């Protein structure tokens, strides 16, 4: 009987706390530099491709390790010198040390590489970016913790639950930063406690602020563990006095022991239950739980691009799958005969119907249902759409959804993706269902200073 081959376990060529000199060759999807020692990858904080550095090994696992820069020996021409390293240490803006043109080029290359690995021969256009790629977010959800006996707000250090207090979040609208800062100060003055997840006690879990970029309307949401918020009326009054653009103060109750930020129970402490914003000429009501894109400037570019690529006609029947609060559906409604939207979250569909009403759109039809199931139902009912827009979650499309698309048989399918990896997989499946890519894949930088990239593709029957 033959002897089984013995696997000889190879020790990693580096060890913790070792300082080595290494060249950085790539960036990970988390924005960490990649250096290799005898083929063993080290992921290095604040290191860019083309740089050479002395690095301190901080953690060694079986197949890879982590390190941080001790001393840069050769700097990249694309390096941005940061006065505040917080954006990197918290992961708020993991590409903040990379010049913006280089960020756009890197995101294009990521999309190109995914299609290349899938053996799909496509053109990828240059990434559409922003003139001002900082302070763009219209929403922040900031955790609260007790530090030295008082409530503080900030962000967690990368890979931990240790809160780093901060007044500035780098990529958020200044009015949102101010709202978070003022709310923290008011809660401190009233002696309100932050929630302790280990002890399962305390009041404030998160502070959320969101602003209508076009209207300037501001909302503050206090996410509480408890149903009762001490001094609620006085807190709301103090916030009103200090935030002139404030239109809404909401208490959101989340009693569950979970890492999900928002609960489903909302109480208006003062003002309106929702604020308003304008996107591509349409008004949208945004409540505390509403899904609304956090970068409306590039969202407008993204949706305008999707609309143009759809080549819509006045006689067209259109489906907006994963429609959320109806932003794509209502953007195209005036250019088509009928538009159908489907979204699993019933509250989002309620928002979509209300948004259709306030914009006097009468040719839209919204359904609260699982998108793949509803697509199959529409196919069985004989609905034939001319154009289908899909803007799915990060997991992409299901096999059932793609089968339903094949049954409904639209002439054009416009795919808006927040995860190019699943987009590539889905496009391969759609090609197998008699669809062909038309034109270039268009990356859009919806989240500057981060590693995320959106992309738009068009497929024709």
Distance CA 331, CA 416 (A): 14
The reply to whether 293 sits in an annotated binding site is yes
343 is annotated as contributing to ligand binding: yes
Candidate from 41-55, 152-166, 243-257, 334-348 with smallest mean pLDDT? 152-166
Mean pLDDT, to the nearest integer, of 77-106? 88
At 105, phi and psi to the nearest 5? -65, -40
- On the CB side of 378, CA atoms within 13 Å amount to 33
Query: Please, which pLDDT band fits residue 9 given cuts at 50, 70 and 90?
Result: low
Q: What is the mean pLDDT of residues 188-210?
A: 94
- pLDDT-derived band at 8, boundaries 50, 70, 90: very low
46 is in an annotated binding site: no
- Checking if the pLDDT of 198 tops 90, the result is no
Determine the pLDDT at residue 6: 52
For residue 99, pLDDT beyond 80: yes
Q: Give residue 257's pLDDT.
A: 83
Q: Which pLDDT value is given to residue 41?
A: 95
Q: Could you report how far apart the first and last alpha carbons of the chain are, in Å?
A: 59
What is residue 5's predicted lDDT score, i.e. its pLDDT?
52
Arithmetic mean of pLDDT, 141-150: 95
Nearest to 76 by CA among 91, 96, 98: 98
| pLDDT band of 262, cuts 50, 70, 90 | very high
Mean pLDDT score, 370-388:
93
Segment 352-356 shows an average pLDDT of: 97
Q: Say if residue 65 is exposed, middle or buried (CB neighbours under 10 Å; 0-12, 13-18, 19+).
A: buried
Positions marked active-site: 418
Percent of residues, the chain, with pLDDT higher than 90: 85
pLDDT in tens, 157-170: 876 778 889 888 88
Summary mean pLDDT of the chain: 93
pLDDT confidence of residue 276: 96
| pLDDT higher at 92 or 316 | 316
Judge whether 394 and 321 are in contact, CB under 8 Å: no
What percentage of residues in the chain have a pLDDT greater than 70? 98
In order of 254, 386, 432, 443, the CA distances from 461 in angstroms are: 46, 10, 11, 23
- Average pLDDT for 138-152: 95
pLDDT value for 10 = 65
Model confidence at 1, pLDDT cuts 50, 70, 90, reads: very low
Q: Is residue 188 marked as binding? A: no
């Amino acid at each position: 009987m033959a002897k089984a081959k013995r696997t000889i376990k190879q020790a990693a060529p580096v060890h913790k706390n070792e300082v080595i000199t290494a060249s950085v060759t790539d960036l990970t999807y988390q924005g960490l530099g990649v250096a290799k020692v005898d083929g063993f990858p080290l992921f290095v904080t604040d290191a860019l491709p083309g740089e050479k550095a002395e690095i301190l090994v901080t953690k060694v696992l079986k197949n890879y390790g982590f390190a941080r820069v001790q001393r840069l020996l050769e700097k990249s021409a694309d390096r941005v010198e940061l006065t505040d390293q917080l954006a990197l240490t918290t992961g708020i803006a993991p590409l903040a040390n990379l010049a913006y043109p280089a960020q756009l080029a890197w995101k294009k290359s990521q999309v190109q590489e995914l299609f290349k690995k899938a053996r799909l021969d496509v053109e990828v256009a240059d990434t559409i970016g922003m003139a001002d790629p900082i302070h763009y977010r219209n929403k922040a959800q900031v955790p609260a913790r007790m530090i030295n006996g008082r409530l503080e707000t900030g962000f967690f250090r990368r890979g931990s639950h240790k809160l780093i207090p901060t007044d500035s979040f780098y990529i958020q609208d200044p009015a949102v930063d101010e709202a978070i800062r003022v709310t923290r100060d008011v809660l401190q003055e009233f002696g309100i406690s932050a929630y302790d997840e280990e002890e399962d006690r305390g009041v404030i879990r998160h502070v959320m602020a969101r602003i209508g970029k076009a209207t300037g309307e501001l909302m503050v949401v206090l996410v509480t563990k408890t149903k009762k918020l001490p001094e609620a009326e006085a807190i709301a009054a103090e916030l009103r006095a200090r935030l002139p653009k404030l239109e809404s103060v909401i208490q959101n109750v989340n009693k569950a022991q979970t890492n999900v930020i928002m609960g489903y129970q909302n109480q208006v402490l003062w003002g309106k239950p929702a604020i308003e914003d304008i996107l591509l000429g349409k008004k949208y009501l945004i409540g505390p739980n509403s899904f609304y894109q956090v970068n409306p400037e590039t969202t407008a570019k993204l949706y305008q691009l999707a609309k143009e690529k759809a080549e819509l006609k006045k006689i067209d029947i259109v489906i907006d799958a994963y429609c959320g609060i109806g932003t794509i559906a209502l953007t195209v409604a005036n250019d088509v005969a009928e538009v159908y939207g489907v979204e699993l979250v019933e509250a989002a569909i309620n928002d979509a119907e209300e948004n259709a009403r306030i914009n006097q759109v009468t040719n839209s039809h919204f359904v609260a249902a699982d998108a793949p199931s509803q697509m199959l139902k529409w196919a069985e009912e004989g609905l034939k759409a001319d154009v289908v827009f899909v803007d799915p979650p990060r997991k992409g499309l299901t096999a059932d959804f793609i089968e339903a698309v094949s049954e409904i048989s639209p002439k054009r399918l416009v795919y808006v993706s927040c995860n190019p990896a699943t987009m590539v997989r889905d496009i391969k499946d759609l090609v197998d269902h008699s669809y062909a890519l038309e034109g270039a894949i268009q990356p859009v930088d919806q989240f500057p200073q981060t590693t995320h990239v959106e992309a738009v593709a068009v497929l024709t029957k």
